[in-house]
A and B are shown apart, each in its own frame.
Chain A
């Protein structure tokens, strides 16, 4: 899906946990997520803390969308 959206000319950032799969499906901008069932949160933590983690990930994603790249890039 990432590939087809990017093919249409829209920059996409993929937030995903299993990075090798993200690379195989052809995502160019990749943000490693927390875990498979909760990519943008960690149920072990309090709600407010979870939202902070989520905010950091989304900020990384927005930075990635503004970063020029030549090839598949994982933004750690």
Chain B
């Protein structure tokens, strides 16, 4: 069997171009493998080889999705690979969305995609039907197990000529698609057995897990914003200069509550960002571009809003677990209610 021809997708960081300051680069193609791609090539042996690597900045991809997808589609058409490997992206939100976006394009071209992702990464839920996503840890510290797990799945896929078994058998995350298979027992019998097990408080496994739609219905709107007390909350990591609470640049373990009483605008002298997931240059130069205190103060003075709440809340939404974000927001919401805040503007980077 001929060697599988693979195209590898990487962001600017793993593509060894640079950090956040390079997150705005447009997609480009390099020959051969780069960074984690070298490890894939070693693990894949004579079965498959990364022939080209496509690299794109995480911000560029997400801000110009249609354009980037069209460019990648063209490049995949030119290279005509047997498979695409994307990432692994771990819990990096923009990178996960990019890997998923690449998978969507490859899927349209009929090219199989293997990627690696942390299940809470929004890229997984959004694009799960387009790729075989191997579960990884939430940070790149898990690279050592992510790479062999992804390589194993690629090898199995090649060995089985694309006829992969169920997610848990082969080691990929559920794709939310249904496939016809032959079962030993007919449906009615399986259903009754499940019901009996449930009645006996025994373990059973549903054949159709219910999707988890955790949605909150929209709250009634403000009647008149001119009378309302409005608070600012951000996941963009804006903190007083020096980051007094030491909020981490990624996977934040806390949030901060900071007074803006008597502050009329954010300045580079008083505030900065603690966020490690985007290029901080702009936010440090003008923190108002993440937390619009200046504009809201003007509106308060002009009577366009009732009052800007004396405190703002901030955390770093970079690789932060859903459970933590949820807990922070519950505490914040309770305080805001106690302080009589009627509406919130939440900004994200």
Contact = CB atoms under 8 A, between A and B. Distances in A.
Interface of A: 1-18, 20-22, 24-29, 33-41, 43, 47, 50-51, 54-55, 57-58, 61-62, 65-73
B282 A18 contact: no
Interface in B15-68: 20, 23, 59, 62-63
B347 to A, nearest CB: 5
16 contacts: A2-B346, A5-B344, A7-B216, A9-B337, A10-B336, A10-B344, A26-B215, A36-B63, A40-B288, A41-B289, A43-B285, A50-B289, A54-B288, A55-B298, A66-B223, A69-B221
Contacts of B235: 1
Contacts of A29: 218
B94 A36 contact: yes
A68 B329 CA distance: 23
Given A10-B342, A38-B289, A65-B230, 11 more contacts: A7-B216, A8-B334, A11-B218, A11-B342, A15-B347, A22-B348, A29-B218, A36-B63, A43-B285, A50-B286, A65-B222
B345 A38 contact: no
A12 B346 contact: yes
Interface stretch (B164-172, B189-197, B243-251, B273-281): B273-281
Contacts of B222: 11, 65-66
Q: What is the size category of the interface that chain B forms with chain A?
A: 35 or more
B216 A28 contact: yes
Interface string B280-309: 111101101110101110110000110000
A70 B329 CA distance: 23
Interface of B: 20, 23, 59, 62-63, 93-94, 97, 122, 125-126, 214-225, 228, 230, 233, 235-236, 278-283, 285-286, 288-290, 292, 294-296, 298-299, 304-305, 315, 317, 325-326, 328-330, 332-334, 336-337, 341-349
A55 to B, nearest CB: 5
Contact of A8 (B220, B230, B289, B333): B333
Contact of B330 (A4, A40, A61): A4
A25 B222 CA distance: 22
A70 B218 contact: yes
5 pairs of A and B residues whose beta carbons are closest in the complex? A41-B289, A4-B329, A8-B333, A1-B329, A28-B218
Given A12-B344, A22-B348, A38-B282, A68 B221 contact: yes
Contacts of A35: 59, 63
A57 B189 CA distance: 58
Contacts of A21: 93, 97, 122, 348
B343 A13 contact: yes
A11 B346 contact: no
A69 B216 CA distance: 12
Given A13-B343, A15-B347, A66 B329 contact: no
A42 to B, nearest CB: 8
Given A5-B333, A39-B236, A11 B343 contact: yes
A62 B299 CA distance: 11
Given A13-B343, A18-B97, A38 B333 contact: no
A37 B237 CA distance: 11
Contact of A47 (B286, B315, B344): B286
Given A2-B346, A11-B220, A14-B348, A37 B330 contact: no
B290 A54 contact: no
Given A21-B122, A37-B282, A58 B299 contact: yes
Contact of A54 (B218, B279, B292, B334): B292
B307 to A, nearest CB: 13
